[in-house]
Structure 1
Amino acid sequence: MKHILLDMGQLKCGSACRRAAVVFFLIASFITSTQSQTKSPASKILVEGEDLIYNVRYGFVDLGQVKIKTLKRSATNGATTFKTIAYIDSYKKIPFVNLHAVFESLIDSVVFSHFFVGKSKDGDYWNFGRYIFDYPKKKAYLEFGGRDTIIESRDTLTLSGRTQDGLSLFFYARDQLFSGRTQNVPAIVKEKNVNTVINFAGKQESVELDFVDYPVDAISFDGTMEFTGIFGLTGDFEGWFSNDEARVPILAKMKVILGSVTIELMEWKRAGWTPPRAQD
């Protein structure tokens, strides 16, 4: 691989900790679904001002937080797009992890990516990878570099159709929650064209969360990433989204060779929304 956005090579911990830390930085792609083959109405998932904060835990160890924000609406290549951003930070108290990353994505109103940049901190500088999607030409143009802005390499990937990135997947899965079908989606993850199978024929469940003082009404689903991550990520995952129009992700579990990583909603801000209470 020419460039790794989230380099784990300098971690000084055991293999289980390294696997957990790797998954920590892959959580932006923990949930995926397929692209629609017909023209879709604008999604109601993307709402300006939405802020979601998640705790990331491996076993009994809290690794860090993921903050996902939907910022402003604008126009990109004639399409209405929303700027979204994710901040991924390890907790200072964790002795074996000191990792910080930022993902940014421009997502259109039917929830496909038009632009993505991922950055990871390396000392005083940030390494970066940038994806520009050109759907009329069915191409994605990739740029990679270090020291904040210096482009060190470029690549071009051929697209089979409209595609996701590591952050837009988070929103597209929400949009497809009630589809009731097993679906497949093309995405660019870790500089490659990949596919993920996800089963949206889930069921309604009551979910207990550490940060909500009542059981939450949720819809479950599961899936498998059809690629193998570094340090043995199996690709299997399961998740629970709120059973309402917002379809906010509230809980997810991703398997690694030893155990699993849990990602849990801990804070939220979305106009008019609170986690729906499960019925007794």
Structure 2
Amino acid sequence: MNFIIALVFAISTDFHQQEFEKFDKVFNTSFIQVGEELVYEVKYLFFKLGQIKFKVVDKFSENGIDFYKVRVRIDSYSVPFVDIHADFEAVFDSKFIARRYHSEQRERKYYQSVKYQLIENPSAYVVEKNYYNFEYNTKGRKIDTVKISTMYCDGPSLFYYARSNFNQTKTIAVPTFIEGTKGITVINFGRKKTKIKIDAISKPVDSYEIDGKANYIGFLGLTGDFTGWISADEKAIPLKGKLKVLVGSVVVELKSWNNSWEHIQKN
């Protein structure tokens, strides 16, 4: 599942005038329910590469602010040339601002962990990175303070931010913090309302299509253009996405979910 405020950032958009997200409004978070679990399958051409699981594990309040804790797990299947396992835990507030984050990524010959936390006065993220290269028996640790002049989503909170805004009609440049690096995600909301068919559901589902562009290289090489479809109801469940990665394009499709299975089946 990161991102400059030198917003001389010229991604052309032929849709709506581009806005810059300041995270200064009230967002709809009613769809974020503790216990919700969404499982996606990742496909490349005809190959099934692995799964991504999102789970909301907690909601709590501190100093009058609501916070959400989510966990994301990525596991590759037993396929040639792919052996990736990663765990992410993120805490964001009701405006989708990234507050705390911890990731662990494991491959055959490499391990990396990233932690960061938002501090204020002055505003910055304190980022700690650790790595271990098993092939060369080397390891390292680095701590940075990344100063910021605006608030940021990160990878996990951006997933829920898109769900909150899925039925809007606007183009937004979203400051995004990915594994300790600042970037921008441009999202075109409200492209069109349509029906999307996925293997897990017997009939097409009403959905809103969104698209956009990531101007950074994220986990698994995510970068560039993307398109997604989100269910057109109060659950706002991402159903399918087409994402560009460094080796080509992958499809991410909803495989199973708990809180909303019957709800979607009946609509």
**Hey, what does 1:164 align to over in structure 2?**
153
- Cα deviation digits, residues 3-30 of structure 1 (max 9, x gap): xxxxxxxxxxxxxxxxxxxxxxxxx27x
1:204 deviates by 1.0
CA distance in 1, matches of 2:167, 2:224: 22
Look up the equivalent residue of 1:261 and give its one-letter code.
V
In the TM superposition, structure 1's runs of 4+ consecutive aligned residues that sit over 6 Å from their partners are 229-232
1:74 deviates by 2.1
Moved more, 245-254 or 107-116: 107-116
CA distance in 1, matches of 2:154, 2:221: 21
Over the matched positions of the two proteins, sequence identity in percent amounts to 33
Asked if residue 50 in structure 1 is aligned to residue 36 in structure 2, the reply is yes
**Hey, what does 1:7 align to over in structure 2?**
none
Moved more, 266-275 or 83-92: 266-275
1:121 deviates by 1.8
Structure 1: tracts of 5 or more residues without a match:
1-27
- Cα deviation digits, residues 152-205 of structure 1 (max 9, x gap): 110111222221111111111111112210001111114211011110022111
1:69 deviates by 0.1
Residues 86 and 104 in structure 2, CA contact (< 8 A), matched pair in contact too: yes
In the TM superposition, what are the counterparts of 1:58-77 in structure 2 within 5 Å?
Answer: 58-76=44-62
Look up the equivalent residue of 1:55 and give its one-letter code.
E
Structure 2: tracts of 5 or more residues without a match:
3-18, 133-138
CA distance in 2, matches of 1:232, 1:133: 25
- Cα deviation digits, residues 113-132 of structure 1 (max 9, x gap): 11011111256985210010
Q: How many residues align?
A: 245
Moved more, 117-126 or 170-179: 117-126
Secondary structure (helix, strand or coil) at the match of 1:202 reads strand
1:109 deviates by 2.0
Identify if the C-alpha distance between structure 1 residues 132 and 78 changes in structure 2 by more than 3 Å, giving closer, same or farther: farther
Asked if residue 269 in structure 1 is aligned to residue 255 in structure 2, the reply is no
Q: 203, 209, 214: which is aligned to 2:198?
A: 209
Asked if residue 102 in structure 1 is aligned to residue 63 in structure 2, the reply is no
- Cα deviation digits, residues 66-120 of structure 1 (max 9, x gap): 011001112356522111000000012x122111001110121222211011111
CA distance in 2, matches of 1:168, 1:101: 17
Identify if the C-alpha distance between structure 1 residues 246 and 34 changes in structure 2 by more than 3 Å, giving closer, same or farther: farther
CA distance in 2, matches of 1:125, 1:258: 20
Point out the structure with the larger strand share.
Answer: 2
In the TM superposition, what are the counterparts of 1:159-198 in structure 2 within 5 Å?
Answer: 159-198=148-187
CA distance in 2, matches of 1:173, 1:80: 18
Question: Structure 1 length normalisation: TM-score?
Answer: 0.78
Look up the equivalent residue of 1:269 and give its one-letter code.
N
Residues 215 and 277 in structure 1, CA contact (< 8 A), matched pair in contact too: no
**Hey, what does 1:244 align to over in structure 2?**
233
Look up the equivalent residue of 2:90 and give its one-letter code.
S
CA distance in 2, matches of 1:87, 1:257: 21
Moved more, 223-232 or 75-84: 223-232
Identify if the C-alpha distance between structure 1 residues 273 and 171 changes in structure 2 by more than 3 Å, giving closer, same or farther: farther
Look up the equivalent residue of 2:200 and give its one-letter code.
F
**Hey, what does 1:127 align to over in structure 2?**
112
Moved more, 129-138 or 102-111: 129-138
CA distance in 2, matches of 1:225, 1:80: 28
Residues 172 and 188 in structure 2, CA contact (< 8 A), matched pair in contact too: yes
Identify if the C-alpha distance between structure 1 residues 173 and 135 changes in structure 2 by more than 3 Å, giving closer, same or farther: farther
CA distance in 2, matches of 1:231, 1:272: 28
**Hey, what does 1:18 align to over in structure 2?**
none
- Cα deviation digits, residues 234-259 of structure 1 (max 9, x gap): 51000000101111100000134664
CA distance in 2, matches of 1:161, 1:258: 32
